[in-house]
Amino acid sequence: MAWLGLYNYWIVVFLMMAGLYIVIARENLIKKLVGLNVFQASVFILYITVGKVDGGTAPIIAEGIEVYSNPLPHVLILTAIVVGVATTALGLALVVRINEAYGTIEDDELEERERET
Amino acid sequence: MILPHLPALQVVVPLLAAPLCVVLRRTAVAYGLAFLASWAAFAISVLLLLQVLDSPGGVISYELGGWAPPWGIEYRIDPLNAYVMLIVAAIGAVVITYAGPSVAREIAEPQRYLFYTSYLLCLSGLLGVTVTGDAFNVFVFLEISSLSSYILISVGATPKALTAAYRYLIFGTIGATFYLIGVGLLYQMTGTLNMADLAQRVPPLAGNRTILVAFAFIAVGVGMKAALFPLHIWLPNAYAYAPSVVSAFLAATATKVAVYVLIRVYLTIFGAEFSIAGMGIGYVFMPFAIAAMFVGSAVAIFQPDVKRMLAYSSVAQIGYIVLGFGIATALGVTAGILHLFNHALMKGSMFLALGCVFYRTGAVTIESMHGLAGRMPWTTAAFVGGGLGIIGVPLTAGFISKWYLVTAALERGWWWLAALILLSSLLAIVYVWRVVEAAYFRPAPAGAPAGEAPFPMLVATWALVAANVYFGLDTRLSVGVAERAAAALMGGGP
Amino acid sequence: MNGSCLMAAALAIPLAGTVLILMSDRWPNLREAVTLATAASLFAVVVMLVPEVYGGGRPALRLWEIVPGLEIAFTLEPLGMMFACVSSGLWIVNSIYSFGYMRAKKEIHQTRFYACFAIAIAAAVGVAMSGNMLTLFICYEVLTLSTYPLVVHRGDEESIRSGRVYLGLLLGTSILFLLGAIVWTFTAAGTLDFTPGGILDGRLAGPAIGLMLFLYMYGIGKAALMPVHRWLPAAMVAPTPVSALLHAVAVVKAGVFTVLKVIVYLFGADFLRESGYADWLMYVAAASLLLASCIALTKDDLKARLAYSTVSQLAYVVLGAALLVPSGIIGGAMHIAMHAMGKITLFFCAGAIYVATGKTEVSQMDGIGRTMPVTLTAFLIGSLSVIGLPPFGGAWSKYFLTLASLETGHMVFLAALAISTLLNVAYLMPVVARGFFAGGPPGAGTGAGTAIREAPALCVVPLCVTALGCLALFFYADALYALLLPIAAGGKP
């Protein structure tokens, strides 16, 4: 049952696949963005998992503590989260504009409209 | 005093100019700032290239914020990224010179200062990707440039630009995230993000499964950004519906920078020996590159929209660049890097010429170009000049690229590949000549608008055409630096 | 002035002329004066180079390295000297003819016409003087591109379609085959310099030699070896001066000139002969020679007939080169000049007939010799020269080609030459015969048929000059022979 010990990686893989599936399979542009966020979140968890050191604590210097978790992945992922938020914001803004222009945010309907023009 | 800080300034100048544009708001001021920042970036890139070529080891290392690598972020410049930086900054400077009248024609007044802000952000992102020596930093800059390019594309004239930008956003984000996963896995195994440091630590781990997974994730992720066939489907619409300025800028720089990342990751971080001999990366990319050459060109032939045609042509040309990399010898990599440079000049000039056409006629379909030679002789000639380069006619930069590609293929004894390269360039004749026939020999529709584009647009377009011819005649710079870069890469990393 | 300066001048003069022609767009007389002055000074410069080359000198001009190991370089040797003289000399005559023709037909875009013409001549002279295969390739492609606007000059649907064939075949074969062959040569031999005795000896072996030869022969589409000859009839849609100088002299001769250069200076005739992988070329050339003559017979349009005749005559040159003996190479080289003079005369006549009467079909030309006696006499002289009858220039080149077939013991080519000569008679003589004799008693209906009605003097004088040239070449052939002798000897060190 050693593989269960790596359960956080299983979560990562599940979220990654679920997110990608949503992006690919859903027609609704908002849902696609949600999927994208799930997908990105899986990567955040991957990084944080990597940074965890067994028995380590938060990387704050204190008396009597020898083992710290690696803080670098947290910092990296903070940046990645910012990027993710910016992407989501921009994506949503585009969806609003698309809705104004076409009156729909369903991908298949959009394609139909585009083919008409 | 300033000289040692050039690597940082390369990114910081456009990055700081961007928020200033927002603060100052006035279109003229924003344009002025963007103009100055872009040309300053170009000047810096020239100085940096000279410094790199002069420096004994061929490498400049700059510690950002004074933190020593591998803990701090290192900006590390060798001939390869100095070269890519030069082309990005040069295109940036030429395009901003061109942008004034074109942006005034295509973008509403209240949005213009934001347009220039995004442009500067995109430029600094692309320059950042090339300048940095840190694998995670590459992701950050890649996303800065991508996010701003989504914005730039979305302000195109038709609503289709919005959907094109949205689809590019989805694709681009997935690609970037794949890259991020790969880098994370590499970090997990090595504990470092510094490329030079990674280059030391990754090869001994060859064969480790995590490393292999990272290898694959990065290939797909960067392949998406580079629009490598069959991951190119976001590209045609994005380039076709973006404003003229943006199409020219992105076509000449964005995918090139992604290809640069590809080369950097596989030949520096993983190392030539592991990637090529161990993993056979050349054989992985080559079939896709060849497919891109043929499919891209063949689809281009049937496009009624000339801008879309050029976009598909770009897919094909990226195929040639990656093919050079796929041949996986010093000569092949030289050819790939060289074509990266030359293609930026050729495709840039063609997109700029199309921008001139759009400026005057408001359309870029084949029909709208009927009789164009009589109405806009200089613009048409510039387009043809770029087109001859794409075909690979002698006296243009495209010929030199093709020469090196074919030589590299024959050097490995792959005569069939040489034949395929030459055969695919025949397709380029067809799609370029469709436009030539329309422009020179079809009668102009009655009442068609006539007259040349404004002077700055013409000057910028012709500057690229002139460069295209110049680098077809004098290849000391273009081939020389590409050879040095390839030698450094194939010799086991800088 | 020394040789290098003269060579630089020979390249610069037509290019400078192009700029001046474009600048004098608004003043047709000035534009034509510039054209003529450019042509005359180019010819003067080229002629000034002759003594040095004749004396065994090989003036060279090195410009710059385009990629490491490959230069833009020019070296003048006898073959190139001859080709340069022919192209630049006939340009003068052709310019005068163009003035008459273009004015009489009130053609459009005349500035573009003269400008492209000048670039084409510059490229042809560049081909003639090239010192290595890369330089030659560059000039070759410039020649293709600069003649494209001339072919599609009229700009109607038919010319565009012909232009597609023209450009597609010439550019396509040159990129697909020729460029591949050049890069291959470079990777195999490490150089592309034209070297007496060849550079591929010992670098290539077995069937690869045959393949390389195939790539060169079909890559040089301008040599119109069947089946890549289709562009030449297509190019006939152009105004007649273009057909006359470019598609009977400069462009097509650039093709066979390149064939000779490749065989003599890249492969080396001895190397090819000993390898045994070049035999197929003789048969292909002979077949091309006969087939094209047969097709010429079926063409009623005079220019189309002349075009197929050119395809056939080009195959003579290729055959001469493919026989790989000195007499064959000299015969082939000589045929470049001889056929040029004869065929340009024929085209001039065809154009003159078109200008004067508007007739293009052979079947319409009954009795035309009575209204245009000078033109048709010149046509007769040109025909006799192309057929190869003394006392006209064409006799000599055919003599050497016959000699070469005898030397190599290939009686089949002797037969091919003989049959082809008969076919030449069969497709050229009817024009003369109809012109002078057919049509029944003229004036039976109208009475006006016998009045002399020649084309403008500017058209007629040039065709008389070239007809006399055919005669002169017969008597001065020994000078040409002496000039060309070293290239054949160059095969044997």
3-state secondary structure chain C: CCHHHHHHHHHHHHHHHHHHHHHCCCCHHHHHHHHHHHHHHHHHHHHHHHHHHHCCCCCEEEEEEEECCEEEEEECCHHHHHHHHHHHHHHHHHHHHHHHHHHHCCCCCHHHHHHHHHHHHHHHHHHHHECEHHHHHHHHHHHHHHHHHHHCCCCCHHHHHHHHHHHHHHHHHHHHHHHHHHHHHHHHHCCCECCCCCCCCCCCCCHHHHHHHHHHHHHCHHHCCCCCCCHHHHHHHCCHHHHHHHHHHHHHHHHHHHHHHHHHHHHCHHHHHHHCCCHHHHHHHHHHHHHHHHHHHHCCEHHHHHHHHHHHHHHHHHHHHHHCCHHHHHHHHHHHHHHHHHHHHHHHHHHHHHHHHCCCEHHHCCCHHHHCHHHHHHHHHHHHHHHCCCCCCHHHHHHHHHHHHHHHCCHHHHHHHHHHHHHHHHHHHHHHHHHHHCCCCCCCCCCCCCCCCCCCHHHHHHHHHHHHHHHHHHHCHHHHHHHHHHHHHHCCC
Q: What's the structural domain count of chain A?
A: 1
Residue of B397, B393, B416 lying closest to B348 (CA atoms): B397
Chain A residues touching B173 at Cβ < 8 A: 36, 40, 87
Q: Give yes or no for B426 touching C (CB within 8 A).
A: yes
The residue to which tokens 């025909």 are assigned: C383
In a domain, B246, yes or no: no
Instruction: Determine whether the interchain pair B162/A76 forms a contact, defined as Cβ–Cβ distance below 8 Å.
Output: no
Q: What's the structural domain count of chain C?
A: 2
Q: Which of the 8 DSSP states describes residue B351?
A: H
Which of B147, B154, B184 lies at the smallest CB-CB distance from A87? Answer: B147
Q: Give yes or no for B329 touching C (CB within 8 A).
A: no
Instruction: Determine whether the interchain pair A94/B154 forms a contact, defined as Cβ–Cβ distance below 8 Å.
Output: yes
Give the best residue of B174, B192, B234 to mutate against chain A (max A CB count within 10 A). Answer: B174
Q: Give yes or no for B367 touching C (CB within 8 A).
A: no
Cα C276 versus chain centre, distance: 29
At B314-368, the pLDDT tens digits run: 999 999 999 998 888 889 999 999 999 999 999 999 999 999 999 988 888 888 8
Is B70 or B350 the better-scoring residue by pLDDT?
A: B350
C and B make contact (3+ CB pairs below 8 Å): yes
Instruction: Determine whether the interchain pair A91/B169 forms a contact, defined as Cβ–Cβ distance below 8 Å.
Output: yes
Q: Across chain A, which distance is largest between two alpha carbons, in Å?
A: 71
Instruction: Determine whether the interchain pair B174/A23 forms a contact, defined as Cβ–Cβ distance below 8 Å.
Output: yes
pTM of the complete model: 0.91
Asked if residues B224 and B168 have their Cβ atoms less than 8 Å apart, the reply is no
Length of chain A: 117
Average pLDDT of chain B to the nearest whole number: 90
In a domain, C198, yes or no: yes
Whether the pLDDT of residue B494 is over 60: the answer is no
- pLDDT at res. A1: 55
Two structure tokens written together for C383: 């025909």
Residue in chain C closest to B472 (alpha carbons) equals C66
Two structure tokens written together for B35: 């103009």
Asked if residues B468 and B478 have their Cβ atoms less than 8 Å apart, the reply is no
Average pLDDT of chain C to the nearest whole number: 85
Return d(Cα B26, Cα B369) in angstroms, integer.
Answer: 35
Instruction: Determine whether the interchain pair B441/C176 forms a contact, defined as Cβ–Cβ distance below 8 Å.
Output: no
Confidence grade of residue A7 (pLDDT, cut at 50, 70, 90): confident
Whether the pLDDT of residue C492 is over 60: the answer is no
- pLDDT at res. B334: 92
- Domain range for A26 is 8-53+66-116
Least confident of A44-48, B309-313, C104-108, C118-122: C104-108
Whether the pLDDT of residue B147 is over 90: the answer is yes
- Which residues have a Cβ under 8 Å from the Cβ of B194 and sit 6 or more positions away? B69, B70, B74, B133, B134, B135
Return d(Cα C407, Cα C385) in angstroms, integer.
Answer: 24
**Is C290 found in the same domain as C182?**
no
Give the best residue of B395, B427, B477, B484 to mutate against chain C (max C CB count within 10 A). Answer: B395
**Is C219 found in the same domain as C81?**
yes
In a domain, B189, yes or no: no
CATH number at residue A32: 1.10.287.3510
**Is C312 found in the same domain as C263?**
no
Return d(Cα C427, Cα C415) in angstroms, integer.
Answer: 18
B76's enclosing H/E stretch is: strand B74-77
Q: Select the highest-mean-pLDDT range: A46-55, B104-113, B379-388, C47-56.
A: B379-388
Average pLDDT (B236-254) is 92
Which of B410, B429, B440 lies at the smallest CB-CB distance from C168? Answer: B429
Chain B: partners with 3+ C-beta pairs within 8 Å: A, C
- pLDDT at res. A2: 66
Instruction: Determine whether the interchain pair B394/C137 forms a contact, defined as Cβ–Cβ distance below 8 Å.
Output: yes
- Which residues have a Cβ under 8 Å from the Cβ of A55 and sit 6 or more positions away? A67
Go through B272-293 and write b for each residue having 16 or more CB atoms within 10 A of its CB, e for each that does not: bebbbebbebbebbbebbbbbb
- pLDDT at res. C368: 81
- pLDDT at res. C440: 55
**Is C355 found in the same domain as C311?**
yes
Q: What's the structural domain count of chain B?
A: 1
Three-state DSSP at B388 gives helix
In a domain, C353, yes or no: yes
Instruction: Determine whether the interchain pair C172/B422 forms a contact, defined as Cβ–Cβ distance below 8 Å.
Output: no
A and B make contact (3+ CB pairs below 8 Å): yes
Least confident of B273-277, C148-152, C326-330: B273-277
Average pLDDT (B434-453) is 84
Average pLDDT of chain A to the nearest whole number: 88
Chain B residues touching C137 at Cβ < 8 A: 394
Q: Which of C249, C270, C291 is the last residue of a domain?
A: C270
Confidence grade of residue C1 (pLDDT, cut at 50, 70, 90): low
Whether the pLDDT of residue A55 is over 90: the answer is no
Q: Across chain C, which distance is largest between two alpha carbons, in Å?
A: 75
Three-state DSSP at B74 gives strand
In a domain, C493, yes or no: no
Number of other residues whose CB lies within 10 A of the CB of residue A61? 6
Whether the pLDDT of residue A20 is over 90: the answer is yes
Nearest-Cα distance to chain C for B369, in Å, is 16
Asked if residues C141 and C251 have their Cβ atoms less than 8 Å apart, the reply is no
Whether the pLDDT of residue B493 is over 50: the answer is no
Instruction: Determine whether the interchain pair C180/B407 forms a contact, defined as Cβ–Cβ distance below 8 Å.
Output: no
Is C309 or B273 the better-scoring residue by pLDDT?
A: C309
Whether the pLDDT of residue C398 is over 80: the answer is yes
Which of C137, C160, C186 lies at the smallest CB-CB distance from B437? Answer: C160
In a domain, C492, yes or no: no
Instruction: Determine whether the interchain pair C172/B419 forms a contact, defined as Cβ–Cβ distance below 8 Å.
Output: no
Asked if residues B354 and B383 have their Cβ atoms less than 8 Å apart, the reply is yes
In a domain, A44, yes or no: yes
Residue in chain B closest to C165 (alpha carbons) equals B430
Residue of B424, B178, B198, B342 lying closest to A46 (CA atoms): B178
- Domain range for C166 is 1-270
Instruction: Determine whether the interchain pair B166/A50 forms a contact, defined as Cβ–Cβ distance below 8 Å.
Output: no
At B186-236, the pLDDT tens digits run: 998 888 888 888 888 888 887 888 889 999 999 999 999 999 888 888 999
Average pLDDT (A13-19) is 93
Three-state DSSP at B108 gives coil
- Domain range for B411 is 281-494
In a domain, B139, yes or no: no
Which of A40, A83, A91 lies at the smallest CB-CB distance from B140? Answer: A83
Q: Give yes or no for B342 touching C (CB within 8 A).
A: no
Paired with C62 in beta bridges are: C73
Considering only CA atoms, give the Rg of chain C.
21
Which of B411, B433, B473 lies at the smallest CB-CB distance from C187? Answer: B411
- End-to-end CA distance of chain C, in Å? 31
Is C55 or B259 the better-scoring residue by pLDDT?
A: B259
At C172-186, the pLDDT tens digits run: 999 999 999 999 999
Two structure tokens written together for C89: 């000399």
**Is C221 found in the same domain as C156?**
yes
- Which residues have a Cβ under 8 Å from the Cβ of C12 and sit 6 or more positions away? none
Give the best residue of B122, B132, B147, B162 to mutate against chain A (max A CB count within 10 A). Answer: B162
**Residue B183 amino acid letter:** V
B63's enclosing H/E stretch is: strand B60-63
Instruction: Determine whether the interchain pair B388/C160 forms a contact, defined as Cβ–Cβ distance below 8 Å.
Output: no
Chain A residues touching B154 at Cβ < 8 A: 94, 97
Paired with C130 in beta bridges are: C74
Whether the pLDDT of residue B57 is over 80: the answer is no
In a domain, A29, yes or no: yes
Instruction: Determine whether the interchain pair C183/B440 forms a contact, defined as Cβ–Cβ distance below 8 Å.
Output: no
Nearest-Cα distance to chain C for B397, in Å, is 11
Residue in chain B closest to C186 (alpha carbons) equals B407
Residue in chain B closest to A19 (alpha carbons) equals B174
Whether the pLDDT of residue C491 is over 60: the answer is no
In a domain, A61, yes or no: no
φ, ψ (nearest 5 deg) of residue B303 = -85, 125
Instruction: Determine whether the interchain pair B394/C167 forms a contact, defined as Cβ–Cβ distance below 8 Å.
Output: no
